[in-house]
Chain A
Protein backbone atom coordinates (compact mmCIF):
# COMPACT_ATOMS: atom_id res chain seq x y z
CA UNK A 1 0.00 0.00 0.00
CA UNK A 2 1.14 3.50 -0.68
CA UNK A 3 1.91 5.88 2.15
CA UNK A 4 3.27 9.39 2.55
CA UNK A 5 4.81 10.66 5.77
CA UNK A 6 5.37 14.29 6.63
CA UNK A 7 6.90 14.17 10.07
CA UNK A 8 6.99 17.93 10.57
CA UNK A 9 3.58 19.06 11.77
CA UNK A 10 4.42 22.73 12.07
CA UNK A 11 7.44 24.89 11.25
CA UNK A 12 7.90 28.53 12.18
CA UNK A 13 10.59 30.67 10.56
CA UNK A 14 11.44 34.31 10.29
CA UNK A 15 11.13 35.93 6.90
CA UNK A 16 14.17 35.45 4.63
CA UNK A 17 15.16 32.21 6.31
CA UNK A 18 15.46 29.07 4.21
CA UNK A 19 13.19 26.20 5.18
CA UNK A 20 13.01 22.55 4.11
CA UNK A 21 9.85 20.48 4.30
CA UNK A 22 10.43 16.74 4.53
CA UNK A 23 8.48 14.03 2.72
CA UNK A 24 9.06 10.28 2.88
CA UNK A 25 6.99 7.87 0.84
CA UNK A 26 6.32 4.15 0.56
CA UNK A 27 5.21 2.30 -2.55
CA UNK A 28 5.66 -1.11 -4.13
CA UNK A 29 5.38 0.25 -7.66
CA UNK A 30 8.46 1.01 -9.69
CA UNK A 31 6.57 3.68 -11.59
CA UNK A 32 4.97 6.39 -9.53
CA UNK A 33 4.53 10.13 -9.29
CA UNK A 34 5.25 12.54 -6.48
CA UNK A 35 3.61 15.90 -5.91
CA UNK A 36 3.67 18.93 -3.69
CA UNK A 37 0.58 21.03 -3.11
CA UNK A 38 0.16 24.26 -1.16
CA UNK A 39 -3.03 24.95 0.81
CA UNK A 40 -3.34 28.59 1.84
CA UNK A 41 -5.98 29.70 4.37
CA UNK A 42 -8.52 30.03 1.53
CA UNK A 43 -8.54 26.23 1.37
CA UNK A 44 -7.84 25.58 -2.30
CA UNK A 45 -5.02 23.17 -2.97
CA UNK A 46 -2.51 24.73 -5.34
CA UNK A 47 -0.35 22.44 -7.45
CA UNK A 48 3.38 23.13 -7.15
CA UNK A 49 5.23 20.25 -8.79
CA UNK A 50 4.90 16.72 -10.18
CA UNK A 51 7.87 14.38 -10.51
CA UNK A 52 7.90 10.85 -11.96
CA UNK A 53 9.93 8.05 -10.43
CA UNK A 54 12.37 7.87 -13.31
CA UNK A 55 13.43 11.47 -13.06
CA UNK A 56 15.68 12.05 -10.07
CA UNK A 57 16.95 15.41 -11.20
CA UNK A 58 16.50 18.13 -8.66
CA UNK A 59 14.32 20.98 -9.77
CA UNK A 60 14.42 24.68 -9.05
CA UNK A 61 11.64 27.12 -9.71
CA UNK A 62 12.34 30.59 -8.42
CA UNK A 63 12.66 30.37 -4.64
CA UNK A 64 11.39 26.77 -4.63
CA UNK A 65 13.53 23.69 -5.08
CA UNK A 66 12.87 19.97 -4.76
CA UNK A 67 15.26 17.16 -3.90
CA UNK A 68 14.13 13.69 -5.00
CA UNK A 69 16.17 10.75 -3.68
CA UNK A 70 14.90 7.26 -4.48
CA UNK A 71 17.57 5.69 -2.28
CA UNK A 72 15.94 7.19 0.80
CA UNK A 73 12.37 7.40 -0.63
CA UNK A 74 12.32 11.11 0.01
CA UNK A 75 11.05 14.11 -1.90
CA UNK A 76 11.95 17.19 0.11
CA UNK A 77 10.91 20.75 -0.65
CA UNK A 78 13.02 23.82 0.13
CA UNK A 79 11.88 27.41 0.12
CA UNK A 80 14.74 29.86 -0.10
CA UNK A 81 14.43 33.32 1.43
CA UNK A 82 10.95 32.61 2.78
CA UNK A 83 8.25 35.26 2.67
CA UNK A 84 5.11 35.82 4.72
CA UNK A 85 3.04 34.85 1.65
CA UNK A 86 4.59 31.37 1.85
CA UNK A 87 2.61 30.73 5.04
CA UNK A 88 0.33 27.80 4.30
CA UNK A 89 -0.06 24.07 4.78
CA UNK A 90 2.07 22.10 2.36
CA UNK A 91 1.14 18.58 1.31
CA UNK A 92 3.28 15.94 -0.30
CA UNK A 93 1.38 13.32 -2.31
CA UNK A 94 1.98 10.10 -4.21
CA UNK A 95 0.22 8.44 -7.13
CA UNK A 96 1.05 4.97 -8.37
CA UNK A 97 0.98 4.16 -12.08
CA UNK A 98 -0.84 0.87 -11.62
CA UNK A 99 -4.41 0.15 -10.60
CA UNK A 100 -4.24 2.84 -7.94
CA UNK A 101 -3.19 5.44 -10.47
CA UNK A 102 -6.40 7.37 -10.24
CA UNK A 103 -5.85 8.58 -6.73
CA UNK A 104 -3.47 10.79 -4.87
CA UNK A 105 -2.35 9.66 -1.43
CA UNK A 106 -1.53 12.70 0.67
CA UNK A 107 0.60 13.12 3.73
CA UNK A 108 -0.78 14.86 6.80
CA UNK A 109 0.74 18.17 5.78
CA UNK A 110 3.23 20.61 7.26
CA UNK A 111 1.96 23.96 8.51
CA UNK A 112 4.53 26.62 7.62
CA UNK A 113 4.38 29.95 9.41
CA UNK A 114 6.62 32.71 8.16
CA UNK A 115 6.81 35.70 10.48
CA UNK A 116 8.25 39.15 10.03
Chain B
Protein backbone atom coordinates (compact mmCIF):
# COMPACT_ATOMS: atom_id res chain seq x y z
CA UNK B 1 0.00 0.00 0.00
CA UNK B 2 0.90 3.66 -0.12
CA UNK B 3 1.58 3.90 3.59
CA UNK B 4 1.76 1.81 6.75
CA UNK B 5 -1.72 0.72 7.73
CA UNK B 6 -2.67 -0.22 11.29
CA UNK B 7 -5.89 -1.76 12.54
CA UNK B 8 -7.84 -1.23 14.66
CA UNK B 9 -7.29 2.49 15.13
CA UNK B 10 -8.91 2.24 18.54
CA UNK B 11 -9.38 -0.74 20.82
CA UNK B 12 -11.03 -0.73 24.22
CA UNK B 13 -10.78 -3.90 26.25
CA UNK B 14 -11.13 -5.11 29.79
CA UNK B 15 -8.31 -6.06 32.07
CA UNK B 16 -7.29 -9.67 31.55
CA UNK B 17 -8.47 -9.93 27.94
CA UNK B 18 -6.39 -10.85 24.90
CA UNK B 19 -5.86 -8.34 22.06
CA UNK B 20 -4.31 -8.40 18.62
CA UNK B 21 -3.08 -5.37 16.75
CA UNK B 22 -2.35 -5.58 13.05
CA UNK B 23 0.21 -3.78 10.90
CA UNK B 24 0.33 -3.78 7.11
CA UNK B 25 3.67 -2.28 6.03
CA UNK B 26 4.55 -0.55 2.81
CA UNK B 27 4.72 -3.09 0.00
CA UNK B 28 8.27 -4.32 -0.52
CA UNK B 29 9.57 -3.17 2.86
CA UNK B 30 11.43 -6.03 4.50
CA UNK B 31 11.98 -4.35 7.87
CA UNK B 32 9.11 -3.84 10.31
CA UNK B 33 9.09 -2.29 13.77
CA UNK B 34 6.69 -2.00 16.68
CA UNK B 35 6.88 0.90 19.10
CA UNK B 36 4.70 1.85 22.07
CA UNK B 37 3.89 5.45 22.92
CA UNK B 38 2.41 6.32 26.32
CA UNK B 39 0.71 9.65 26.91
CA UNK B 40 3.17 12.51 26.94
CA UNK B 41 6.12 10.29 26.07
CA UNK B 42 8.17 9.47 23.03
CA UNK B 43 7.76 6.14 21.28
CA UNK B 44 9.59 3.21 22.86
CA UNK B 45 11.01 0.36 20.83
CA UNK B 46 9.38 -3.04 21.21
CA UNK B 47 10.52 -5.35 18.41
CA UNK B 48 12.14 -5.37 14.98
CA UNK B 49 11.52 -7.86 12.17
CA UNK B 50 13.76 -8.46 9.21
CA UNK B 51 11.65 -10.56 6.88
CA UNK B 52 9.80 -13.21 8.86
CA UNK B 53 12.15 -13.34 11.81
CA UNK B 54 12.32 -11.18 14.91
CA UNK B 55 15.85 -9.77 14.68
CA UNK B 56 15.56 -7.82 17.93
CA UNK B 57 12.83 -8.29 20.53
CA UNK B 58 14.70 -6.66 23.40
CA UNK B 59 12.01 -4.03 23.90
CA UNK B 60 9.13 -6.38 24.66
CA UNK B 61 8.28 -5.63 28.30
CA UNK B 62 7.38 -9.18 29.37
CA UNK B 63 6.16 -12.53 28.10
CA UNK B 64 2.58 -11.29 27.76
CA UNK B 65 3.70 -9.51 24.60
CA UNK B 66 4.39 -11.41 21.41
CA UNK B 67 4.59 -10.47 17.73
CA UNK B 68 4.62 -12.45 14.53
CA UNK B 69 5.21 -11.81 10.86
CA UNK B 70 4.68 -15.23 9.27
CA UNK B 71 4.94 -14.26 5.61
CA UNK B 72 7.30 -11.32 5.90
CA UNK B 73 4.60 -8.76 5.27
CA UNK B 74 1.72 -8.21 7.71
CA UNK B 75 2.60 -8.33 11.38
CA UNK B 76 0.42 -8.92 14.43
CA UNK B 77 1.26 -7.74 17.93
CA UNK B 78 -0.42 -9.94 20.51
CA UNK B 79 -0.97 -9.00 24.13
CA UNK B 80 -2.21 -11.58 26.60
CA UNK B 81 -3.89 -10.92 29.95
CA UNK B 82 -3.94 -7.18 29.34
CA UNK B 83 -3.27 -4.81 32.22
CA UNK B 84 -4.24 -1.16 32.64
CA UNK B 85 -0.59 -0.23 32.23
CA UNK B 86 -0.67 -1.60 28.70
CA UNK B 87 -2.87 1.35 27.66
CA UNK B 88 -0.92 3.28 25.02
CA UNK B 89 -0.69 3.94 21.30
CA UNK B 90 1.05 1.11 19.51
CA UNK B 91 2.93 2.34 16.46
CA UNK B 92 4.15 0.26 13.58
CA UNK B 93 6.85 1.36 11.13
CA UNK B 94 8.50 -0.16 8.11
CA UNK B 95 11.63 0.52 6.12
CA UNK B 96 13.00 -0.76 2.86
CA UNK B 97 15.64 -3.16 4.14
CA UNK B 98 17.15 -2.47 7.51
CA UNK B 99 17.83 -0.33 10.51
CA UNK B 100 17.17 3.39 10.86
CA UNK B 101 20.78 4.35 10.27
CA UNK B 102 20.55 3.62 6.59
CA UNK B 103 16.81 3.55 6.07
CA UNK B 104 14.03 6.01 6.69
CA UNK B 105 11.29 4.56 8.88
CA UNK B 106 7.73 5.26 7.77
CA UNK B 107 5.26 5.12 10.64
CA UNK B 108 1.58 4.27 10.69
CA UNK B 109 -1.05 6.29 12.55
CA UNK B 110 -1.06 3.81 15.41
CA UNK B 111 -3.54 1.67 17.31
CA UNK B 112 -4.78 3.25 20.51
CA UNK B 113 -5.30 0.58 23.16
CA UNK B 114 -7.31 1.34 26.28
CA UNK B 115 -7.50 -1.28 29.01
CA UNK B 116 -10.31 -0.65 31.48
Number of A-B contacts (CB under 8 A): 67
Contact with B along A28-53 (1 / 0, CB 8 A): 00001101010000111111001010
Check A103/B41 contact, CB under 8 A, given A43-B109, A47-B106, A95-B101.
no
Chain B interface size range = 20 to 34
Tell whether, in the assembled complex, residue A104 and residue B45 are in contact, meaning their CB atoms are under 8 Å apart.
yes
Tell whether, in the assembled complex, residue A106 and residue B48 are in contact, meaning their CB atoms are under 8 Å apart.
no
Chain A interface size range = 20 to 34
Tell whether, in the assembled complex, residue B45 and residue A103 are in contact, meaning their CB atoms are under 8 Å apart.
yes
Which single member of A32, A46, A95, A107 contacts B42 (CB below 8 Å)?
A107
Q: Chain B at the A interface: mostly helix, strand, loop or mixed? A: loop
Tell whether, in the assembled complex, residue B43 and residue A106 are in contact, meaning their CB atoms are under 8 Å apart.
yes
- Smallest Cβ distance from A7 to chain B, in angstroms? 13
Tell whether, in the assembled complex, residue B91 and residue A45 are in contact, meaning their CB atoms are under 8 Å apart.
yes
Q: Which residues of A contact B116 (CB under 8 A)?
A: none
- Smallest Cβ distance from B22 to chain A, in angstroms? 16
Q: Which residues of B contact A (CB under 8 A)?
A: 3, 33, 35, 40-45, 48, 55-56, 58-59, 89, 91, 93, 99-101, 104-110
Q: Which residues of A contact B (CB under 8 A)?
A: 4, 32-33, 35, 37, 42-47, 50, 52, 91, 93, 95, 97, 101-109
